[in-house]
Structure 1
Amino acid sequence: MIIEISVLIVAIAVVVLVVYLVQTLRKAQQSIQTANETLAETKELIQTSKADIDQLMTGVNTLIEQLNHQVSAVDPLMSSVRTVGTAVNEVTEAAKEASAAWAGSLKERAATNAQANQLPNWLTWVETGVKAYQAINKLVQAGKQRQGAAAGQEAAAASERVASPKQ
């Protein structure tokens, strides 16, 4: 009888163990199924995001190409501006030289008149001023004509390139 009771206790223990194992296995199965569903949703989200990222990269690449085109179109314009700046600098230097020469001439005349004890005639001063103005004006016009034609053509070509971007 002790053996029968022992076998009965062991049998009951095995049944209780099997019941707890079945419950645990069912919960584990539900957890695995939930994980599989989450994994499927994640894969779908990744595929959608990848398509969006590809589309975004295509747009960025197009924008970069357009930007590079615009920058290359502005380069000749900047070169023209640099050329015009150089021309203006040359004209300014020529005007300074003419002004210095004119001032030197006036000083010489004043010194000559002072040595001869003669007062300068106002008409002589006006004539000297007119000659200096004409000399400076000729220098400015020559500089504008020389540099203006080349710079104007370069600026017009560069402006056309900026105004009509490459499609």
Structure 2
Amino acid sequence: MLTQISVAVIAVAFAVLVVYLIKTLKAATQSLEKVTQTLQEVQKTIDELSYEVKQTIRNTNDITVDVQHKMKQIDPVMDTVRNLGEALSEVTYAVKQVSAGMVSRFKQARLEKKQPVEAERPKALTPEERTFQSYDAVYHQQEESKPSKSRNWLAYVDTAIGLWNSFRRQKAR
């Protein structure tokens, strides 16, 4: 009898085990179906995104080609600007040298002009005479010297421009 009870208990235990295994396998099957469905949706989304990414890359390549073409068109302009900058730098340097020479000449001329005037000026002048003398010195000297200074200055500039043009022509050869 003990064998029969043992066999009956084993049979019941096996039946319970089979029932729980069936439930577990059904749950696993449902989970796998959901995973399969999710993977299909992910694959579909990836396919759509890959198409959009390819389009974006194509547009980027087109833009890059267009920018490269435009940069090649701008290169001569940039070369011209660089050459112009170099020329302006050279002109500025030349003008600076000419103006430094002119300033030193003007200072020298002023010093030479002032020294004889100071030596010839009488020592004892009345306040009224000093007022008239300063008035004459300021207004009459400015009126007389302005046209000649501007003419001298223009002559220096013309000379400097002529020298610069000669220099550039020789450099071009």
Is TM > 0.5 for Structure 1 vs Structure 2? yes
Aligned position for 1:159? none
Aligned position for 2:47? 47
Q: Structure 1's 23 and 105: CA in aligned 2 closer, same or farther, altered over 3 A?
A: closer
Alignment check: 8 A CA contact 1:95 1:139 kept: yes
TM-score, L = length of structure 1: 0.64
Q: Structure 1's 139 and 22: CA in aligned 2 closer, same or farther, altered over 3 A?
A: same
Aligned position for 2:157? 136
Q: What is the alpha-carbon distance in structure 2 between the residues aligned to residue 14 and residue 113 of structure 1?
A: 133
Deviation string, structure 1 residues 60-90 (Cα, Å, up to 9, x no partner): 1222222222333333222212222222233
User: Is 57-66 or 4-13 further displaced after alignment?
Assistant: 4-13
Paired letter, 2:78: M
Deviation string, structure 1 residues 8-53 (Cα, Å, up to 9, x no partner): 2222222222111111111111111111111111111111111111
> How far 1:130 moved relative to its partner?
0.9
Aligned ranges 1:1-167 → 2 under 5 Å: 1-103=1-103, 105-106=105-106, 107=108, 111=112, 126-127=147-148, 129-137=150-158, 139-140=160-161
Higher gyration radius (CA)? 2
Paired letter, 2:71: V
- How high is the sequence identity, in percent, across the aligned residues? 27
TM-score, L = length of structure 2: 0.62
Paired letter, 1:94: A
Paired letter, 2:60: V
Deviation string, structure 1 residues 95-151 (Cα, Å, up to 9, x no partner): 334334444555359638967x89xxx66884464143133046448869x98xxxx
How many residue pairs are counted as aligned between the two chains? 144
Q: Structure 1's 70 and 8: CA in aligned 2 closer, same or farther, altered over 3 A?
A: same
Alignment check: 8 A CA contact 1:90 1:143 kept: no
Q: Structure 1's 45 and 111: CA in aligned 2 closer, same or farther, altered over 3 A?
A: same
Aligned position for 1:154? none
| Backbone CA RMSD of aligned residues | 3.6
Q: What is the alpha-carbon distance in structure 1 between the residues aligned to residue 147 and residue 109 of structure 2?
A: 16
Q: What is the alpha-carbon distance in structure 1 between the residues aligned to residue 7 and residue 97 of structure 2?
A: 127
Question: Which residues of structure 1 form unaligned runs of 5+?
Answer: 148-167
Q: Structure 1's 114 and 40: CA in aligned 2 closer, same or farther, altered over 3 A?
A: same
Alignment check: 8 A CA contact 1:91 1:140 kept: no
